Amino acid sequence: MKTLADLFNQYSVSHQNPLNKKIHMYAVPAIYISFLGLINSVALPWSIGGHQLTLLYPILCLFLTWYFYYSFIIGIYMGVISFIGLLGLHFYTVLLGLPDVNADVHLCAGVFMIAWVAQFYGHKVEGRKPSFLEDIFFLLVGPAWVSVPVLSKLGIKVKM
């Protein structure tokens, strides 16, 4: 199995252009949070204490397990980012008085599509294909990769 450093090095190959990197710093978190919002709208046939379970719960557990496997710090960071993003979506719906889960779905679908268009534009500028076209797990590497500069600005070093 590859190390985190191996994954980051391989991912970095197609992320050298400054514009592409900048696009990724915004688009990757937008895609990640909007994806979580989208899968939160897919109900599972179970509830706990009257709370309907959604596809978000098992998928987020798998994602966070993957992040913690590679780095405790990145696992914590991604858990916090996931919580803040989902809380933001919840407040968006509540504050606007939107009673329907579809409000989140429409917002998340729009953000998801716009962010992907931006990503592909960045790769066109870069002149290289996105890494996930070679290995689907690079869809998880991207959020971890963009977390490192943020953590670095906070004075937190990620062990590779």
**Residue 146 placed within a domain:** yes
The Cα 111–Cα 127 span in angstroms is: 24
**DSSP classification of residue 159:** P
Among the residue ranges 3-12, 48-57, 119-128, the one predicted with the least confidence is 48-57
Whether residue 89 lies inside any domain: the answer is: yes
Tell me, yes or no, whether 109 lies in a domain. Answer: yes
- Using alpha carbons, list the distances in angstroms from residue 149 to 9, 51, 99: 15, 37, 37
64 falls within a domain: yes
pTM: 0.91
- Looking at residue 52, its pLDDT comes to 84
Q: What percent of the chain clears pLDDT 90, i.e. is strictly above it?
A: 78
Give tens-digit pLDDT for 25-41.
999 999 999 999 999 98
Is residue 125 included in any domain, yes or no? yes
Q: What percent of the chain has pLDDT over 70?
A: 96
Q: Which residues pair with 43 in a beta bridge?
A: 54
pLDDT-based confidence at 160, cuts 50/70/90?
confident
> Is 7 a domain residue?
no
pLDDT for residue 94: 78
Burial of 133 (0-12, 13-18, 19+ CB in 10 A): exposed
Question: What is the domain count for the chain?
Answer: 1
Question: Is 80 exceeded by the pLDDT of residue 44?
Answer: yes
Domain that holds residue 138: 24-41+53-153
1: confidence class by pLDDT, cuts 50, 70, 90 = confident
Mean pLDDT of the chain, nearest integer: 92
Determine the average pLDDT of the residues in 54-69: 96
Would you say residue 74 lies in a domain? yes
Q: What is the DSSP string of 6-38?
A: HHHHHHHTT--SHHHHHHHHHHHHHHHHHHHHH
Average pLDDT over residues 92-102: 71
Is 158 part of a structural domain of the chain?
no
